[in-house]
Amino acid sequence: MPDTLAQPMRFGSSSGQPVTRRDGIAKVTGDADYAADHSPSGMLHAVYAPAAIARGRVTAMNTVAAEAHPGVVRVITPANRPALQGDPADKSVMFTFRIEVLQDDTVRYAGQPVALVLAETLEAATEGARLLDPQYAVEVPRVTLADAESEPVAGQGFGQPADTTHGDVDAGHAAAARSVDVTYTTAAQYHNAMEPHAIVAQWEGDHLSLDVPTQAFALSCAGYARYFGIPAENVTIRCPYLGGGFGSKAIPAGPLVLAVLAARDVGRPVKLALTRKQMFGPVGHRGATEQRLRIGADGEGRLSVIDHDNVAETSTFDDFVEPAANASQGLYAAGALRSRHRAVRLDVGTPGPMRAPGEASGSAALECAMDELAEASGIDPLEFRLRNYAETEPGTGRPYSSKALRDCYLQGAERFGWSGRPSAPGTMRDASGLLTGWGMGTALFPAPMFAAQARATLKADGTALVETSAADMGQGAWTALAQIAADSLGLPLDAVEFRAGHSSLPDGGVAGGSGHTATAGGALHAAGLDVVRQLGEIAAADPESPLHGAGNAQFVARDGRLFVEGDEGRSDALADILVRAGGAPLTGTGRGARAPEAAAAHAMYSHGAVFAEVKVDPDLGQIRVSRLVGAFAAGRIINPKLAESQLFGGMIWGVSFALHEEAKFDRRTGRIMNADFAGYHVPVNADVPGLEVIMVHEDDPHVNPLGVKGVGEIGIVGTVGAIGNAIRHATGRRVRRFPIRIEGMLG
């Protein structure tokens, strides 16, 4: 399959349609099954005891009391934990971090599992875990960026971002007529998918069968296989639906591995579901950052330098440093660019990728700093960004595979009414006297592809079965991927049965990085084309086919018929070709990936512009987002209805980042004080009125044969900065700490 097409491809009739979700009925009737909905017979419930301190050792536990509780079957502690075949620190499977599975009595973060209780009922297991009442030898915990010295980052491998410099940074600073030197901080955030991590594990001999949410079937199978010393083929994962992932469900998490270990130990199926509180610790989070931005511009408002230093937390036992400073690469045409990272080791669970890792936090700081410099230069924020519009990728000079960002700016500004914005802050009030402000931000997110495989089988009745182990965590894979497959096979969507969500299917790759539709979709597309090619060969060799003799031609399938490309006069029905050939189903396979040459030749990003209106109560300091308009260009949109939902969701995450989410640590115990939905705020319905999304048309002939980028993460990028800037515009206050709360409006 070619990696690029000279012309934007014409695609069939399903893609581009706002088809309603194919899994809609299952989800509205309660039929859609998530991992914890399974209860095989003989199953035990597992509940773990979390550490109540962040640093130290467990010195005692009352296992006698726990074991004596009616219904409790087994108590597993570091003292009696059955052996694991693999190394908990093994990182050979991509995206893996060291897991905490009772390997010793050391406590490395609050919420770390310190013991596991198995019982006949959930109630008994819960009470058993409570009765353990661990005692500790406590050391002083380090839980905020101020609690330890920063250190360099290795700059290699996942979670260790490399420093990047383009151009002469010192010269850029010297050339600046105006500059700002500002430091922004962002809070630790926890993914908190609505579905807490859960697993139902069953062993049969050395075969392991799991109901577990996963964003990456093959990686998860490989991970469990390594920990338990069995071949990856012996691991079966069923996951038709995930109740949200956001980056936290790609690889086996420690507590889930413990449940599998326990199931093997007792010889019975085991179910473990994390409590909401337990979601704050062992399953990843977005680390806090402190970002210093020194940016300068010449007298015309052209950027001479963006110098971005990021200090982010990681754990004491593994590395994931939020690559926030990298958000300054790739976006604005500055004379010099520098992104640097340092890490602070804290007594917290290892951070990990969380929706728009790097970009969300980095863009929050960058977009606010850009506004500060625009204001210092006396230039409208939108005009300032247009003056620094990059026609090629800054630093590298590579052409963009496509970039309709200018259209995003203009269409978004038009819809929002940006041109009526007074430049002075603190001058707008609404009818009820609330301070009103308008701000904007640019959104950028890479358009990566991973690797995936798919299979398509055409049947003699004119229907097809297409298969890949895609993971649908709400982005709409069940629907959008079927639309792609239908078009590639030239069949109506109703004639295509799509199977996904099971590890026995061809590897659907990773649902993450906003690259799933492009990657799994690319594999399905290639599989469809493989069927079409084979069918063409059969038809060309068949004297009874109108296509007889068209041996060297290219074939295309459309409306259930096969055509010779460029010769619309001759065609044959797909089903008829198969029937005449004996009626056996015809199978094709395909792979979705990006060739390294293609990846090197172009800079590939989705782009967008977000405009925000906020209202601030002048007496109470209460902040509300009253309007958000986001205009995004992300290549071909397979399903505008679902893409819009993704973008809305991302923008709401932006509101959440800007105004709500913050894990607050008790510096004495090292525990998170607000580890629940009462204290850890995420937006509710009343928090997000007035959202609008504009999908800006963009043809991309280079990014992949489908022209698809991705929309899963970009909505959050740009939104955070836009809100911070709108608050400045409303109140005259520049708050450099996210989330921005009432406290920032007082005093």
Partner 1 sequence: MPLSMTLTLNGAARDVVLDDPRVTLLDLLRERLDLTGTKKGCDRGQCGACTVLVNGRRVNSCLTLAATLDGAEVTTIEGLGTAAALHPVQAAFIEHDGFQCGYCTPGQIMSAAGLISEGLDAEDPERIREGMSGNICRCGAYHGITLAVQEAARRMAADGQEDAA
Reading the block at residue 66, the tokens are 């726990």
Reading phi first (left if > 0) and then psi (alpha if -120 to 50, else beta), residue 625 is in: beta
Site membership for partner 1, residue 275 (CB under 8 A)? yes
Q: Coil, helix or strand for 322?
A: coil
Binding residues among 435-464 for partner 1 as defined by CB under 8 A = none
Q: What is the closest distance, in whole angstroms, from the C-beta atom of residue 522 to ligand FES in the complex? A: 26
Contacts of 586 (CB under 8 A, 6+ apart): 457, 458, 531, 534, 535, 538, 578
CB 388 within 8 A of CB 303: yes
Q: Judged by CB under 8 A, which stretch of 147-155, 253-261, 515-523, 640-648 contacts partner 1?
A: 640-648
Cα 59 to Cα 138: distance, rounded to the nearest angstrom: 10
Among residues 75, 115, 251, 273, the one that binds partner 1 under rule CB under 8 A: 273
From residue 520 to residue 559, what is the string marking binding to partner 1 with x (rule CB under 8 A)?
----------------------------------------
Q: Determine the longest span between alpha carbons in the chain, in angstroms.
A: 87
Task: Tell me if residue 713 is catalytic.
Answer: yes
Residues 250, 254, 258, 264: is their CA dihedral positive or negative? Answer: positive
Q: What is the closest distance, in whole angstroms, from the C-beta atom of residue 278 to partner 1 in the complex? A: 11
Site membership for ligand FES, residue 381 (CB under 6 A)? no
CA atoms within 13 A on the CB side of 255: 33
Please choose which of partner 1, ligand FES, none residue 595 contacts, taking the beta carbon within 5 to 8 angstroms, the exact cut-off set by kind: none
Q: What is the closest distance, in whole angstroms, from the C-beta atom of residue 369 to ligand FES in the complex? A: 33
Q: Which of 447, 446, 385 is nearest to 609 (CA)?
A: 385
Reading phi first (left if > 0) and then psi (alpha if -120 to 50, else beta), residue 117 is in: beta
Binding residues among 107-166 for partner 1 as defined by CB under 8 A = 121-124, 127
Among residues 171, 194, 579, 742, the one that binds partner 1 under rule CB under 8 A: 194
Tokens 């709400």 identify what position?
474
DSSP 338: E
Closer of 180 and 642 to partner 1 (Cβ): 642
Binding residues among 244-303 for ligand FES as defined by CB under 6 A = 244
Q: Would you mind telling me the total number of residues written for the chain in this entry? A: 747
Cα 648 to Cα 654: distance, rounded to the nearest angstrom: 10
**CA triplet 419, 421, 424: central angle to 5 degrees?**
140
Which uninterrupted H or E stretch holds 695? Answer: strand 691-695
Among residues 213, 474, 501, 721, the one that binds ligand FES under rule CB under 6 A: 474
Site membership for partner 1, residue 30 (CB under 8 A)? yes
From residue 38 to residue 77, what is the string marking binding to partner 1 with x (rule CB under 8 A)?
-x--------------------------------------
Closer of 192 and 519 to ligand FES (Cβ): 192
From residue 469 to residue 508, what is the string marking binding to partner 1 with x (rule CB under 8 A)?
---xxxxx--------------------------------
Among residues 44, 47, 84, 193, the one that binds partner 1 under rule CB under 8 A: 193
Please choose which of partner 1, ligand FES, none residue 20 contacts, taking the beta carbon within 5 to 8 angstroms, the exact cut-off set by kind: partner 1
Binding residues among 485-524 for ligand FES as defined by CB under 6 A = none
Closer of 351 and 630 to partner 1 (Cβ): 630
Binding residues among 192-211 for ligand FES as defined by CB under 6 A = 194
**Parallel, antiparallel, or unpaired for β 435-446 and 428-429?**
antiparallel
- Cα separations in angstroms, 658 against 182, 511, 578: 18, 25, 57
Among residues 204, 678, 746, 747, the one that binds partner 1 under rule CB under 8 A: 678
Cα 412 to Cα 577: distance, rounded to the nearest angstrom: 50
Q: What is the closest distance, in whole angstroms, from the C-beta atom of residue 27 to ligand FES in the complex? A: 8
Contacts of 144 (CB under 8 A, 6+ apart): 288, 346, 665, 667
Which uninterrupted H or E stretch holds 181? Answer: strand 178-186
Tokens 């609330």 identify what position?
434
The catalytic residue among 127, 322, 662, 713 is 713
Site membership for partner 1, residue 641 (CB under 8 A)? yes
Closer of 246 and 317 to ligand FES (Cβ): 246
Q: What is the closest distance, in whole angstroms, from the C-beta atom of residue 299 to ligand FES in the complex? A: 50
Q: What are the backbone angles phi and psi of residue 294, rounded to the nearest 5°?
A: -115, 110
Closer of 193 and 629 to ligand FES (Cβ): 193
Binding residues among 680-699 for ligand FES as defined by CB under 6 A = none
Q: What is the closest distance, in whole angstroms, from the C-beta atom of residue 31 to partner 1 in the complex? A: 7
Binding residues among 213-252 for partner 1 as defined by CB under 8 A = 241-244, 246
The residues pairing with 502 across neighbouring beta strands, listed in sequence order, are 238
Among residues 111, 196, 282, 536, the one that binds partner 1 under rule CB under 8 A: 196
Tokens 């259209």 identify what position?
407
Site membership for ligand FES, residue 28 (CB under 6 A)? no
Peptide bond into 351 cis (omega under 30): no
Please choose which of ligand FES, partner 1, none residue 123 contacts, taking the beta carbon within 5 to 8 angstroms, the exact cut-off set by kind: partner 1
What order of strands is seen across the sheet that includes strand 207-211? 72-76, 113-119, 44-50, 270-273, 198-204, 207-211, 235-238
Cα 450 to Cα 511: distance, rounded to the nearest angstrom: 9
Q: What is the closest distance, in whole angstroms, from the C-beta atom of residue 553 to ligand FES in the complex? A: 47
Please choose which of ligand FES, partner 1, none residue 64 contacts, taking the beta carbon within 5 to 8 angstroms, the exact cut-off set by kind: none
Q: Judged by CB under 8 A, which stretch of 23-31, 86-94, 95-103, 160-168 contacts partner 1?
A: 23-31
Among residues 11, 34, 320, 384, the one that binds partner 1 under rule CB under 8 A: 34
Q: What is the closest distance, in whole angstroms, from the C-beta atom of residue 194 to ligand FES in the complex? A: 4
Please work out the total of residues on this chain that contact ligand FES, with binding judged by CB under 6 A.
3
Q: Judged by CB under 8 A, which stretch of 31-39, 260-268, 414-422, 588-596 contacts partner 1?
A: 31-39
Contacts of 424 (CB under 8 A, 6+ apart): none
From residue 681 to residue 700, what is the string marking binding to partner 1 with x (rule CB under 8 A)?
-xxxxxxxx-x---------
What order of strands is seen across the sheet that includes strand 555-558? 555-558, 561-564, 567-573
Binding residues among 661-680 for ligand FES as defined by CB under 6 A = none
Among residues 3, 12, 15, 36, the one that binds partner 1 under rule CB under 8 A: 36
- Cα separations in angstroms, 124 against 68, 73, 130, 263, 372: 11, 9, 10, 17, 57
Cα 518 to Cα 534: distance, rounded to the nearest angstrom: 24
Site membership for ligand FES, residue 79 (CB under 6 A)? no
Q: What is the closest distance, in whole angstroms, from the C-beta atom of residue 244 to ligand FES in the complex? A: 5
Contacts of 472 (CB under 8 A, 6+ apart): 23, 240, 241, 242, 478, 500, 501, 511
Q: What is the closest distance, in whole angstroms, from the C-beta atom of residue 649 to ligand FES in the complex? A: 8
Please work out the total of residues on this chain that contact partner 1, with binding judged by CB under 8 A.
63
Please choose which of ligand FES, partner 1, none residue 265 contacts, taking the beta carbon within 5 to 8 angstroms, the exact cut-off set by kind: none
Cα end-to-end distance, the chain, whole Å: 62
Residues lying near partner 1 in the complex (CB under 8 A) are found at 20-21, 23-34, 36-37, 39, 121-124, 127, 192-196, 241-244, 246, 273, 275-276, 472-476, 641-642, 644-646, 648-653, 676-678, 682-689, 691
Task: Please identify every residue annotated as catalytic.
Answer: 713
Residues lying near ligand FES in the complex (CB under 6 A) are found at 194, 244, 474
